[in-house]
Chains A and B, each alone.
Chain A
Amino acid sequence: MALLMGVFSIYLMVKSAELPIGWIDEEGPGGGTWPFWLATIMLISCGGIIYNWFRKKGPIATSNKTYIEAHVLGDVAAVAVALIITVALFSFIGVYGALPLFLIFYIRFMGKHSWKLTAALTVGVPVVTFYFFEITLKIILPKGVTEPLFLPLYKMFL
């Protein structure tokens, strides 16, 4: 982790250096100075973390606890992947296409609840979302290809 973050810090340093990082007369420090030195602190910290790890100091390096148990990893990874897929689908089939799929996946397949409960929540959550965000707050959520289906609803409420 520290190694990856170290590489990211170097990238940030280079990126910051695209703007002046030194002192400009009459103007003060250049625009890149602040992020540049912060990224440097990040890099130094990563160095420190790696050094401590090598000396086997600190609670992580000395503990025998496994990073994550194998049977738990499956659950966490499944949820993470499901979230990524859901967000990816937002742009294509819209929030109201992707959310029900996510809810069905989670409630029926992760939670093993009855189809009846699954159906109720799959319909209920998006309907509440629509009323609250789109009608009350006037925040239009991405619709993707389902856009035309919502035109009559907008006519009714907005």
Chain B
Amino acid sequence: MLEILGLLAQGFVVVFEPQNLLLIVVGCTLGLFIGAMPGLGSVNGVAILLPLTFLVPPTGAVIFLAAIYYGAMYGGAISSIMLGIPGASTAVATTFDGRPLAKQGMADKALIGAAVASFVGGTISVVLFTFFAPPLAHVALVFGAPEEFALMMLAFATFVGLGGDDIFKTLFSIAIGLVLSAIGFDIISGEPRLVLWGITGFLHGVNFLVLAIGIYGIGEMLWTVEEHALGGGKSMLSDATVSVERTMTALKDLLRTWKSSVMGSLLGYFVGILPAAGATPGSLMAYGIAKQISNEPEKFGNGAIEGVVAPEAANNAASTGSMLPMLTLGIPGSPTTAILLGGMVIWGLEPGPLLFVDHSEFVWGLIASLYAANLVTVLINIAFIPVFIKVLKTPFTILAPIIFTLCLIGGYAPTQDMHDVWLMIVFGIVGYLMRKLDYPLAPAVLAIVLGPLAEPALRQSLIISEGSFMIFFERLYAGPIMVTALILLFLPVFKRVYDRIRKPRAPAEQ
């Protein structure tokens, strides 16, 4: 306990270096802007801006990206409330009551509620994180190759079992991500592998950033172009009056909603830890529960402030929760943390439990920066509400070409090879078409990041066991993890069988 507090204090020393403090402020502000733009969320922001972090040391880079992640989570609420369009999928639940409130002329109350709830969610979850992470990392220290592979199987299995998308499409997405990561050289024999169509550019493999910017930058922007064209280019911006007096009354009102925000925070945190679930289902569940525990459930949907508070607390808590498995086990809990993990590999850090031992400054700097980012974001958010509303008035046709420019150059920067820019465009267009057909794309991004870790883990395990797959079931930690993974993987099948048994051809008999 004391040891943890000591380490945390060291982390704060890192955070209070002027450069890192500046990175937090800039990151939070950028994140807020990105989150506030309809259609763009934390994943997009982190994917598009990751190439900019090559300038600073790893600790600064991860602090910057974590600040963007946080800022975007706060910012998502702004367009949900003001435009009625979720800033990101994670802010969908915020539109349910945030939009009605804005229409009743109480946009400021909703915005402040969202900001404060996000702060509560963020803070509660960071405290939980601080005390959960070190023991978990300690347990994970004894993990060998079989345990690592079992954990990755578990991550993929949650997508199949709990992701809620078409099972075959999810499987396809995972497999293609893993295959793409296998392109380049065989890690053990050193032979060139999967040099597609003999194009030499594939020799250096497919960089995960190329796929991430392709899907979350180019692909997502094409999607937004379409939505924008469908909407006829018009937006329905609500008015908001902001004054110190109104802010104070709003804050007083919020005291009564503490139950919703605490519930949302706890729920969001634990849902966020699961790889496939994350902030979107977390915030929807929090909304549902807030409605159930409310004294006036009929107010939900017509502008209940609890309906804004609960999901906003949950989605921020989930974003912290998703960092727990990323830092301690090397398994990302969300697409955004998958990109952060890929970034860590680029910066030369090996993800996993050893991080706590070998790079304690990095880990605790990141954790401390989460506390700081929370505080900075809530202050910037409330102080600059009028500015964000102005930003939402910026026409999409001005923002879009600037974001596309960032994507094109961001795709070139890591390897400085035109081959990667082409590949990114291909991923963007194919990703857009696949998304239109309801293929989930997050599993592919997770897979391309985990691929280079999963394959050696599998091969080493099989070498240890001389080819027997039983190694994954016989070991103390690997066994239960693998069994859980298999249960999750076959969950959809069990469900179907169960439904059949319970209702044996009911319609046919009638």
Contacts and interface: CB of A to CB of B under 8 A. Distances in A.
A1 B402 CA distance: 31
B222 A80 contact: yes
B191 to A, nearest CB: 6
Contacts of B218: 83
Interface stretch (B181-189, B279-287, B497-505): B181-189
A53 to B, nearest CB: 10
Interface in B180-231: 182, 186, 188-189, 191, 193-194, 196, 218, 221-222, 225-226, 228-230
Interface in A1-32: 1, 5, 12, 15-16, 18-19, 23, 27-32
B413 A137 contact: yes
A121 interface: yes
Given A31-B191, A107-B397, A140-B416, A60 B438 contact: yes
Nearest to B168: A48
A19 B189 contact: yes
A28 B462 CA distance: 7
Given A5-B172, A59-B438, A121-B398, A142 B229 contact: no
Contacts of B182: 34-35, 38
A34 B458 contact: yes
A68 B169 CA distance: 20
Chain A interface extent, by class: 35 or more
A5 B421 CA distance: 22
A113 B397 contact: yes
Interface in A57-88: 58-60, 67-69, 71-72, 75-76, 79-80, 83-84, 86-87
A107 B401 CA distance: 7
B380 interface: no
B398 A1 contact: no
Contacts of A129: 405, 409
Contacts of A15: 194, 196
Contact of A137 (B55, B191, B395, B458): B55
A26 to B, nearest CB: 9
B191 A19 contact: yes
A133 B409 contact: yes
Contacts of B425: 83-84, 87
A106 B395 CA distance: 12
Interface in A125-150: 125, 129, 132-133, 136-137, 139-142
Interface stretch (B75-83, B252-260, B428-436): B428-436
A110 interface: yes
Contact of B404 (A45, A102, A136): A102
Contact of A75 (B226, B434, B455, B458): B226
A114 B458 CA distance: 58
Given A34-B455, A45-B172, A137-B55, A12 B398 contact: no
B471 to A, nearest CB: 12
Given A69-B230, A80-B222, A32 B193 contact: yes
Given A75-B225, A107-B398, A113-B398, A35 B191 contact: no
Contacts of B293: none
Interface in B453-494: 455, 458-460, 462-463, 467
Contacts of B13: none
A52 B168 contact: yes
B179 A72 contact: no
A13 to B, nearest CB: 10
Contacts of B171: 41, 44-45, 48
A129 B228 CA distance: 27
Contacts of A32: 186, 193
A42 B54 CA distance: 35
Nearest to A31: B186
Given A15-B196, A137-B413, A71 B229 contact: yes
B462 A39 contact: no
A102 B395 contact: no
A52 B492 CA distance: 15
Nearest to A99: B405
B437 A19 contact: no
B401 A80 contact: no
A45 B194 contact: no
Contacts of A152: none
20 contacts: A12-B194, A16-B193, A16-B194, A19-B186, A19-B191, A28-B467, A29-B458, A31-B191, A34-B455, A41-B175, A45-B169, A49-B172, A58-B166, A58-B438, A60-B437, A79-B221, A79-B400, A103-B405, A121-B402, A141-B409
Q: Which 8 pairs between the two chains have the least Cβ-Cβ distance?
A: A111-B397, A31-B186, A48-B168, A45-B172, A106-B401, A28-B463, A75-B229, A35-B182
Given A27-B188, A95-B409, A137-B52, 6 more contacts: A35-B193, A41-B175, A69-B230, A83-B425, A106-B397, A106-B404
Interface of B: 52, 54-55, 166-169, 171-172, 174-176, 178-179, 182, 186, 188-189, 191, 193-194, 196, 218, 221-222, 225-226, 228-230, 395-398, 400-402, 404-405, 408-409, 412-413, 416, 418, 421-422, 425, 428-429, 432-434, 436-439, 455, 458-460, 462-463, 467
